[in-house]
Structure 1
Amino acid sequence: MTRRQLPPQIKKTTVKNRKTGKDETRYEVVVETGADPRTGRRSQSKRRFATEKEARQHLADTQAKVAQGAYVHKNELTFDQACEDFLNGLHGLKPTTLDGYRFDLAVPRQLLGRLSVQQLAKQHFDNIVRQVQSGTLTRAHRNRNTREGNRKKWGARSVNGMLNTCQRVLEGLVEQGVLARNPAQLVGRVPNEAKGAAERAHTVEEMRAVLAAAKDGRDRHIWHLAYHGLRRGEISGLTWGDVDFEAQEVAVRSSRVCVGGKVIEQDSLKSRSSKRTLKGTPVLMAELRAAKARQAAERLAHGEDYNDGGWVACDERGNPYRPDTLTRKFAKLQKRAGTKNVIRLHDARHTCATIMHYQGVPAASVCAWLGHANPAITMRIYTHPSAGAIEQVAESYGRVVTFCDNEPPAPQGPAGGGRKAG
């Protein structure tokens, strides 16, 4: 049988085995792979195989990928640099949004940053998920909220946020032809086993207990604002210039947020609908009047040492509270109130929406009050069925069923299946 001639891309060569010292035959394949998409330079793929069959198969596969535009050139781009490129390519985002992406990528960059993106596999991200869920991951630096050397366990929301952002980073590289596949996309997301919907909001009784515990505190007006549906950043950014006592209104115009451990003031709120003017309830306006009077007395007591910035949420010297300080204060307040259902400060906003919903306030009105762009978001996220509401449904349906059971039975047809005698 006539031996097939080797194509010009395959060259038969002899190499010396390093272990045995004997000569061995190898088939070297050199394929033109076009221009590298990152450098624009002409590139070649060069590999050796033990058999001619393997060499021919590799040549055919590579040429097909090049023809289809699916060939991936070798690239030494590290995952850390890929993340930095991704962040630099996000334009027009608010500082808080950008900081959220940085947080999502911090741990993967710490553990995988030095690897080439083409070395990444599904198991790398699976290992990270296991570590952050178990709390065994060591910290790159100390954080005041956790013990030195350890990160606290992550919940499903944080884990999935990390995976989703990693997937976005690598998806961009797939589109650029740097990666053939996206390993982060292959990782299963963590089921959310956090608090149930009803547990993310206080009942009316729990809300009253918390406000009662704050009755003698100088910050009680802050918690009234929270239960009136204001976001943490909106409360922190509120000034007395935003409060119109004559018109009984509170204007939400700006916010103060934590970004990278620092507090920044921003005029742009979460959405266009977030800028709104709320009609203050009598209780809220009374608490705000009392708070302003307290601050006036504190201003006189501290004199020149008082920071007269006009902040509604501030300490005895007029210094505005950090948003995370409000979070810690609210947690301590709930402990003092003895509520079994301990919620986040943001969940006071859920409480507001849920109470409004069960008071019969239209969804569009609740949406406008909370500063949402879409009522569907309000109903999906911020209104939660309470145990009492479920009981009312059962009682209502029970009355219907009982009524049906008490009705006289419907008349039956003739005996024998209703047939006439023949």
Structure 2
Amino acid sequence: MNNVKEYLVKLEENQREKYPNQPEYLQAVAEFVGTVEPFLVKHPEFMEKNILEMLLIPERIIEFRIPWMDDKGAWRINTGYRVQYNSALGPYKGGMRFHPTVNQSVIKFLGFEQIFKNSLTSLPIGGGKGGSDFDPKGKSDGEIMRFCQSLMRELQKYIGPNEDVPAGDIGVGAREIGYMFGEYKRLNGYQAGVLTGKPLAYWGSLARKEATGYGLVYFVEHLLNDCNDSIKGKKVLVSGSGNVAIYAIEKAQELGASVYGCSDSSGSLIDPDGIDLDLIKDIKEVKRERINTYLEQHPNAKFYEGKNIWDIEFDYDVALPCATQNEISKELANQLVKNGVAIVAEGANMPTSLEALEVLKENKIIYCPGKAANAGGVAVSALEMAQNAQRLPWTFEKVDAELNQIMKNIYETSRQTSLEYVGEFDLVAGANIAGFARVAEAMVSQGLV
């Protein structure tokens, strides 16, 4: 036991020494390393082969410039990234994020998490991630198109249906995927499986845009079913109002929950009558406006300008953070406790800080980590790859049923693994150990690659 603990402590210290200016990556490593000790105690062969240190280092990181012309004819420059983290289980798979905060630390943390998330799906996909510090907000369609085309002229050298299959993430939806796919096709010919999240007209998958949000709620429903309960009748708040948040709201309402709040970067919205999802879709997916315009049609609602939704006093049962990393701090976790929250399930990647996790654990709040709870998006991306390979489209019902079963399997695997190795219900440890075990075994069997 002591040898394992010393090994893990040294491993984390080495990463901190090497990458002192990569806080997001170091946070992801700390959260992961802190949970796998029981597995290594039972399976010291993986420590002896130093699999974990090998896993911490990406197979490769690609960084490149992206020159593009704005509508005024001025040349602009952004930086692009793709981390191809681990291919032991299949081609690299993970989204592209367009946001000003994107840097190598953010992409590494996302790619590292993606390894285990993809492993948990039991589908043949490895871990990768990418993006750029480009901000699509306020840009015209023409500017976004020229940016995406410039990005793909470089990225296309490193991706392919059996090599690396990017998808969408924050700032990257069907529009951006379409522009990138078009440029890839011009340069390489038509290869349907090179990107996922494509529009339906050219081999996108039904239920893909809904998948992360739906999968998140399915995960919570399976958790509650395991406790002889249901999400029906539960009071829910959701952070964000993008793709994940919108479809988490939709599925929660469909299953009988009452959703009272969501947010965007300008502030938070609480509607005591329940969120009008059709209006939210119109504001965010059609008009692309700020969420405060919701009040024009629902004056009973209240908008909290500049306020994090988790900082609002409100009585509810389930928190679904679907915005961005570290949106729940220690102080906000304490507010969740005061509000009587019973479950926190992550729709975003690492939205809960390490200090907040301790608060949730101390107060017996059930915490569903993103690598398990939001794996629905990449799961349906892998199903899109399967459809592309078969040249056969699946019905919405078929994809949705597969998604529900995958989320059920992820929940049950995480639960059982935590009971086996930790001796108690701990979905963080269960998800981390289950995801790591599959990748580690593959790496050893392939000759430590």
Instruction: Determine which structure has more spread, i.e. the larger CA radius of gyration.
Output: 1
Higher strand share: 2
TM-score (norm 1): 0.25
Of structures 1 and 2, the one scoring higher in RCO (CA 8 A, sep 6+) is 2
Normalization by structure 2: what TM-score? 0.24
